[in-house]
């Protein structure tokens, strides 16, 4: 039944709730804001004209933080944005194209960050390294949190998606924690984050959430603000920014190079790709290495990944159809350098091409950012420049 707005406001079932104040007050239970304030960390944030634009000033005021909002412009056309690699406007905090404004200001701040328009994804900019690739920051955040959250459960696991970096696996092993790998979609982390069996859940597209300081649930969905503020906490308590910490992790555990490519696919081809089986794979090895596993179900929860993942000692690829566009995506990573990654991608494309060739309307060559080159993890990386 529809009723007038004024009557709805007067109804006894209608109550006002201050979402902003409630959220900002509760932040001290998930982030060590005292450490950030004590270290006098100079921070910058670009809300990208999004839903959290009024939260950042309240955070700074409530906790006495040196936090500058570099732009408070709200424009439904988003004409203030620099365009992404393909000329489109996207409020993507993981894209070095979309993040040009904040990257250009990096020397003004010890740490800077941005969130997308609904503020459930984060982008981290450091003075020493510029925009931090999403997978790199996930590794840093995981390593830091599981060393600096003593009240978390000893058995709390680390959640990642099947297309996130394998460096996360190595960080997890070093920590002596259990890895919980799931298909693409943050929904797979909900139960674990809720009951505390997961201390952290993160995905390659710069979405993450983690437990409160006491180990209880913060949120079961992605929260862009909390990982952003965590970057400031890390900088405050470690005396180094996330880029510097990542470089140490890569030196110790291996430096991966990651890329993603995409290509047009018909609905029929997407359905075929989602149902590929290991028996259809014509690869005997992957870029010169023995194939260790071919997965069609995630190792963490056994759910179908909607494609397949092929794993060798020094690299892997995963192929899956997009859930929102008529394209398919190939994710790949190598711990042996650019040429090895190129070989993995070439073999992955051939594998998918052979599978899709059995249906009409064969997919065409993949679409990539201008130049199509792969970049090392030390610089502007492919994972930070691809359309999400």
pLDDT tens for each residue of 122-167 = 999 999 999 999 999 999 999 999 999 999 999 999 999 999 999 9
User: What is residue 383's predicted lDDT score, i.e. its pLDDT?
Assistant: 41
> What residue has token string 């982030």?
31
Q: How confident is the model at residue 358 (pLDDT cuts 50, 70, 90)?
A: low
- pLDDT for 33 equals 98
Q: Return the bridge partners of 318, or none.
A: 309, 331
Contacts 24+ apart (CB under 8 A), 167-170: 167/135, 167/139, 167/249, 167/250, 167/253, 167/254, 167/256, 168/135, 168/138, 168/139, 168/142, 168/202, 170/253, 170/254
User: What structural domains and CATH numbers belong to the chain?
Assistant: 19-252 (3.40.120.10), 258-366 (3.30.310.50)
In this predicted structure, the answer to whether residue 361 has a pLDDT above a threshold of 60 is no
Would you state the structure tokens that stand for residue 164, as one six-digit string?
């996130």
The tokens describing 180, both together, are: 């919980």
Q: List pLDDT tens digits, range 306-350.
A: 999 999 999 999 999 988 889 999 999 999 999 999 999 999 999
Q: What is the pLDDT of residue 360?
A: 47
> pLDDT at position 355, please?
77
- When the pLDDT of each residue in the chain is averaged and rounded to a whole number, the result is 91
The encoded tokens of residue 376 equal 């090392």
- Alpha-carbon gap, residue 280 to 303, rounded angstroms: 20
CA nearest to 220, candidates 254, 197, 238: 197
- Percentage of the chain beyond pLDDT 90 is 82
Among 232, 169, 160, which Cα is nearest to 199's?
160
Q: Is the dihedral of CA 367, 204, 232, 250 positive or negative?
A: negative
Least confident interval from 8-12, 251-255, 324-328: 324-328
Task: Say what the pTM is.
Answer: 0.90
The token duo for 131 is 């925009």
Give tens-digit pLDDT for 69-101: 999 999 999 999 999 988 999 999 999 999 999
387 has pLDDT over 70: no
Give the span between the Cα atoms of 56 and 113, in whole angstroms: 11
Could you tell me what percent of the chain has a pLDDT over 70? 92
364 confidence band (pLDDT: 50, 70, 90): very low
211-217 contacts at long range (C-beta below 8 A, 24 or more positions apart): 211/30, 211/149, 211/152, 211/156, 212/29, 212/30, 213/29, 213/30, 213/32, 213/149, 213/151, 214/29, 214/151, 215/149, 215/151, 215/152, 215/153, 215/156, 217/193
Tens of pLDDT, residue by residue over 21-34, are 999 999 999 999 99
- Could you give the strand order of the β-sheet that contains 179-182, starting from the edge strand earlier in sequence? 179-182, 157-161, 198-203, 207-210
Q: Per-residue b/e over 87-99, b at no fewer than 16 CB within 10 Å?
A: eeebbbbbbbbbb
> Quick check: helix, strand or coil at residue 111?
strand
Q: Which of 205, 221, 46, 216 is nearest to 138 (CA)?
A: 205
Q: What is the largest CA-CA distance in the chain?
A: 71
Sheet containing strand 122-126, edge to edge, reads 66-69, 42-46, 111-115, 122-126, 130-131
User: What pLDDT, on a 0 to 100 scale, did the predictor assign at position 362?
Assistant: 46
Distances in Å between the alpha carbon of 132 and those of 142, 311, 384?
15, 25, 8
Nearest alpha-carbon partner for 256 in 309, 314, 181: 314
Q: Would the pLDDT of 12 be above 50?
A: yes
CA distance 298 to 208: 19
Q: Which residue's entry shows tokens 């992790």?
A: 249
Burial pattern 115-142, b for ≥16 Cβ within 10 A else e, equals: bbbebbbbbbbbbebbbbbbbbbbbbbb
CB contact at 8 A, 148 and 230: no
CA–CA distance, 85 with 342 (Å, rounded to integer): 21
When pLDDT is cut at 50, 70 and 90, the band that residue 277 belongs to is: confident
């Amino acid at each position: 039944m529809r009723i007038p707005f004024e009557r709805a406001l007067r109804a006894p079932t209608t109550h006002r709730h201050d979402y902003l104040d409630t959220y900002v007050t509760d932040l001290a239970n998930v982030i060590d804001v005292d450490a950030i304030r004590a270290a006098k960390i100079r921070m910058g944030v670009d809300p990208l004209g999004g839903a959290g634009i009024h939260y950042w000033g309240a955070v700074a005021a409530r906790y006495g933080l040196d936090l500058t909002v570099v732009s408070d412009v709200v424009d439904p056309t988003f004409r203030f944005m620099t365009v992404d690699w393909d000329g489109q406007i996207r409020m993507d905090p993981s894209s070095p194209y979309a993040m040009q404004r904040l990257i250009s200001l990096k020397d003004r701040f010890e740490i800077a960050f941005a969130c997308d328009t609904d503020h459930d994804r984060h982008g981290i900019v450091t003075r020493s390294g510029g925009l931090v690739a999403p997978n790199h920051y996930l590794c840093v955040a995981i390593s830091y949190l599981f060393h600096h959250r003593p009240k978390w459960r000893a058995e709390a696991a680390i959640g990642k998606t099947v297309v996130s970096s394998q460096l996360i696996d190595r960080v997890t092993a070093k920590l002596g924690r259990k890895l919980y790998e799931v298909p693409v979609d943050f929904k797979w982390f909900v139960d674990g984050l809720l009951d505390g069996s997961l201390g952290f859940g993160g995905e390659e597209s710069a979405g993450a959430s983690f437990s409160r300081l006491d180990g209880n649930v913060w949120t079961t969905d992605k929260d862009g603000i909390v990982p952003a503020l965590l970057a400031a906490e890390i900088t405050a308590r470690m005396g180094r920014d996330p880029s510097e910490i990542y470089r140490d992790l890569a030196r110790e555990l291996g430096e991966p190079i990651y890329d993603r490519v995409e290509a047009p696919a018909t609905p029929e081809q997407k359905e075929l790709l989602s149902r590929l089986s290991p028996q259809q794979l014509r690869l005997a090895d992957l870029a010169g290495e023995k194939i260790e596993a071919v997965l069609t179900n995630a190792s963490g929860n056994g759910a179908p990944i909607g494609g397949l993942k092929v794993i060798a000692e020094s690299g892997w690829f995963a192929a899956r159809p997009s859930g929102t566009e008529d394209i398919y995506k190939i994710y790949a990573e190598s711990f042996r350098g650019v040429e090895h990654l190129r070989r993995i991608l070439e073999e992955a494309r051939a594998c998918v091409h052979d599978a899709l060739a059995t249906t009409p309307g064969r997919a065409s060559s993949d679409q990539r950012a201008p130049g199509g080159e792969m970049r090392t993890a030390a610089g502007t990386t492919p994972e930070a420049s691809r359309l999400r």
